[in-house]
């Protein structure tokens, strides 16, 4: 059903033929491998997703997510569009997520593509501090390079300074094109500005970039995203090779062909391929939590046992969520009531 002829990538599959067979046969029931596991997706663009995705995330054990501010696909033409988008991330989207019992955090920043509109970028820089101080804003992000222009560099540097001043972690988007040099340059600039590498999460890594990122003491994030970024079979091999320390995985699910369940699916594949439960927990939950909790804005007790324990959400002592927990719809039912 969810098989895709383009999906297998034999040149990178380093397991045995038997492993490959197992991985292909059980693909549709991956849930049985991750029962009881909890996940933290530190990069997912929920404004671009449907409520069905929230339901699926909750069912698969995702308890907390981080939504980085990014490019909407359509360029913004005025400051108000940025302001309303940032307000959505700390307001409406946060509420939407809470209806499914998922704790929603975000990072706020001027993305690299729109850094190229200098007049607008200047205005956006002025309102960033206002949003970066908000409750539940766990970093500056996603920022970095796209085309690696001079303007991109200017605003990357300015936002690194802002992060340093405010004591916030930085979520760095590394470019799709000329990735290796772009990643090195992003790290060098961060070090030049005096950022502690453990406050910087270098995102969208691959086999070619990971070693240098880890060697220099940065967090290395991997985006499991079909076709253009990492596949999860390759991810398993990376964890086998480098171990779980300072590594985290994310879905970066957005308006493109992407998969919000990338973390639970990758965790299932790791489990099947013999990676220890504790290592799976580190790369799919704990390391992301540790990295972004450096903002002082994450309280694990708010979500680890489900969001109902947040007293402020209780309704007159009753367990009905004040916001109204979204009623579940049986998707297999033909009847709609």
Name the site residues for another protein (rule: CB under 8 A): 83, 86-87, 90-92, 94-95, 127, 130-131, 133-137, 296, 311-312, 314-316, 318, 320-330
Our CB check for another protein shows the closer of 83 and 157 to be 83
> Could you tell me the smallest distance in angstroms from the CB atom of residue 159 to another protein?
18
Q: Which two tokens stand for residue 74?
A: 């359509």
Our CB check for another protein shows the closer of 32 and 312 to be 312
Note the helical H segments in 6-117: 17-25, 51-59, 79-90, 92-98
> Could you tell me the smallest distance in angstroms from the CB atom of residue 328 to another protein?
4
> Could you tell me the smallest distance in angstroms from the CB atom of residue 84 to another protein?
9
How far apart CA 63 and CA 81 sit, in angstroms, is 29
> Could you tell me the smallest distance in angstroms from the CB atom of residue 316 to another protein?
6
Our CB check for another protein shows the closer of 38 and 134 to be 134
Cα within 13 Å of Cα(115), Cβ side: 26
How far apart CA 76 and CA 111 sit, in angstroms, is 11
> Could you tell me the smallest distance in angstroms from the CB atom of residue 131 to another protein?
7
How far apart CA 277 and CA 168 sit, in angstroms, is 30
Are the C-beta atoms of residues 204 and 252 closer than 8 Å to each other?
yes
**Secondary structure of 92-139 as H, E, C letters:** HHHHHHHCCCCEEEEEECCCCHHHHCHHHHHHHHHHHHHHHCCCCEEE
Our CB check for another protein shows the closer of 181 and 322 to be 322
Our CB check for another protein shows the closer of 104 and 173 to be 104
């Amino acid at each position: 059903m969810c098989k895709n002829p383009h999906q297998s990538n034999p040149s990178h599959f380093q397991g045995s033929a038997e492993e490959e067979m197992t991985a292909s046969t059980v693909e549709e029931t991956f849930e049985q491998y991750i029962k009881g596991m909890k996940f933290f997706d530190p990069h997912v663009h929920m404004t671009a997703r449907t409520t069905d995705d929230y339901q699926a995330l909750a069912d698969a054990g995702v308890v907390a997510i981080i939504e980085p501010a990014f490019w909407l696909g359509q360029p913004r033409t005025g400051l108000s569009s940025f302001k309303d988008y940032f307000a959505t991330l700390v307001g409406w989207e946060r509420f939407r997520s809470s209806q499914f019992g998922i704790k929603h955090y975000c990072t706020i920043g001027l993305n690299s593509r729109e850094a190229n509109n200098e007049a607008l970028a200047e205005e956006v820089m002025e309102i960033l501090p206002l949003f970066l101080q908000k409750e539940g804003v766990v970093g500056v992000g996603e920022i970095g390079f796209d085309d690696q222009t001079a303007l991109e560099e200017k605003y990357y540097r300015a936002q690194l300074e802002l992060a340093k001043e405010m004591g916030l972690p930085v979520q760095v988007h590394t470019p799709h094109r000329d990735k290796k040099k772009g990643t090195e340059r992003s790290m060098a600039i961060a070090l030049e500005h005096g950022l502690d590498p453990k406050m910087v999460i270098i995102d969208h890594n691959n086999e070619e970039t990971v070693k240098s990122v880890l060697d220099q003491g940065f967090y290395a994030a991997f985006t499991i995203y079909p076709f253009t970024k990492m596949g999860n079979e390759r991810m398993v091999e990376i964890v086998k090779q480098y171990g779980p320390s300072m590594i985290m995985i994310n879905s970066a699910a957005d308006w493109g062909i992407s998969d919000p369940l990338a973390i639970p699916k990758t965790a299932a594949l790791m489990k099947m391929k013999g990676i220890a439960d504790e290592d799976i927990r580190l790369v799919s939950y704990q390391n992301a939590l540790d990295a972004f909790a450096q903002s002082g804005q994450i309280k694990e007790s708010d979500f680890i046992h489900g969001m109902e324990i947040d007293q402020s959400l209780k309704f007159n002592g009753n367990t009905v969520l004040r916001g109204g927990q979204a009623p579940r719809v049986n998707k297999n039912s033909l009847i709609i009531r």
